[in-house]
Amino acid sequence: MEQNVEKIIKKIVPSWSWHANYNSDRGRIWILWDHNPIDHTPIKVSNQYQTIDFYFTAIYGLHSVGDRRYLWIDLKELENSQQGPWLLMGDYNAVIHVDDRLNGAEIQEQETRDFTDFLFETGLTELKTVGRKYTWTKNHICSKIDRAVVNGDWMIRLPHLEVTVLDPGFSDHSPLSITFDNHIGRRARPFKFLNHLTEHQEFLDKVAKGWREPVSGVFLKSIWQKLQNVKTEMKLLNKEKYNAVDMRISTIRSNLQEAQEQMRLPGHDPALFDKEKSLKMDLEK
């Protein structure tokens, strides 16, 4: 009941701010936040979602395929005006893949069509999940209907994020959790593509190997995972062929200088000409 919301929230997180979509529905979506580090204002609210001003949309899809069509239409309109990273997370009440349900009725194409078309048309993709596979359980039936979906800007700026599917506790839904790591010392070093890699004779083979690796997911997610595989191959190539390059250059310079010092005097070993040539080629490489 709407009149009990504030009482309930104050028992859970007494100092937090909150917003619910009672103005357009029965309050299926509550958003709670600590107003000390962040503050926000809902910019669009419906009976199936709430969007807030730091590019987060909370989802609660209605139960029928027909009712959810209005959700896809609204989200497409939001996507057209969206700028910057965007996260859409919650209970979509919809499946995508044939293995998204365990036991229960077999998944039909009409159940997945609208959601997959929406992802294809908008270029949005589902974030990787860890933890439990299924997010909703009822007796012996399990389904994956809760998801975190993001746009391309999110994948580019926050590529290491993943969603943890937590244990459901007393609920029939498993909570989805995303943790933003603020510890700079723990962040992975950003990948920098170095132009000299393209000149190595193994470059194209490494790219092809990374791209051919099997991946899961569809649309942008599969492309992103293939690019991650190619990045791994590029890192290995750089490590194997160009690791500690400053030290190797210093060693070659020292050997070249030593050889040329021996060549100052007449009557030196003729083999030093070949050694000098080889060292110069190594140094140029």
Q: Is 197 helix (H, G, I), strand (E, B) or coil?
A: helix
Q: Which residue has the tokens 């959601």?
A: 115
The pLDDT value recorded for residue 185 is: 43
Give the pLDDT band of residue 191 (cuts 50, 70, 90). low
Tens of pLDDT along 89-136?
A: 999 999 998 889 998 888 888 889 999 999 988 889 898 888 888 999
How far apart CA 115 and CA 122 sit, in angstroms, is 11
Ramachandran angles phi, psi of 249, nearest 5°: -60, -45
The pLDDT value recorded for residue 209 is: 92
Give the pLDDT band of residue 138 (cuts 50, 70, 90). confident
Q: What is the CA radius of gyration of the chain?
A: 28
The pLDDT value recorded for residue 186 is: 47
Per 3-state DSSP, what percentage of the chain is helix, strand, and coil (rounded to 5)? 40, 20, 40
Tens of pLDDT along 6-33?
A: 788 788 888 787 777 776 666 678 888 7
Kindly give, in sequence order, each residue whose CB lies less than 8 Å from that of residue 272, ignoring residues fewer than 6 positions away.
259, 262, 263
As a whole-number percent, the residues of the chain with pLDDT over 90 amount to 20
Amino acid identity for residue 132 in this structure: R
Amino acid identity for residue 31 in this structure: I
The pLDDT value recorded for residue 142 is: 92
Tokens of 105: 């009725």
Mean pLDDT along residues 158-174: 83
Q: How many residues does the chain have?
A: 285
The pLDDT value recorded for residue 93 is: 92
Give the pLDDT band of residue 182 (cuts 50, 70, 90). low
Helix or strand holding residue 177 (H, E): strand 176-177
The pLDDT value recorded for residue 80 is: 85
Tokens of 127: 């974030």
Tens of pLDDT along 69-79?
A: 999 999 998 88
Tokens of 131: 């933890």
Burial pattern 53-90, b for ≥16 Cβ within 10 A else e, equals eebbbbbbbbeebeebeebbebbeebbeebeebbbbbb
pTM of the entire predicted model: 0.61
The pLDDT value recorded for residue 100 is: 92
Tens of pLDDT along 255-269?
A: 988 888 888 877 778
- Whether 233 shows a pLDDT value over 80: the answer reads yes
Amino acid identity for residue 115 in this structure: F
The pLDDT mean for the chain works out to 83
How far apart CA 243 and CA 238 sit, in angstroms, is 6
Tens of pLDDT along 269-285?
A: 888 888 989 998 888 87
The pLDDT value recorded for residue 36 is: 67
CB 130 within 8 A of CB 142: no
Amino acid identity for residue 285 in this structure: K
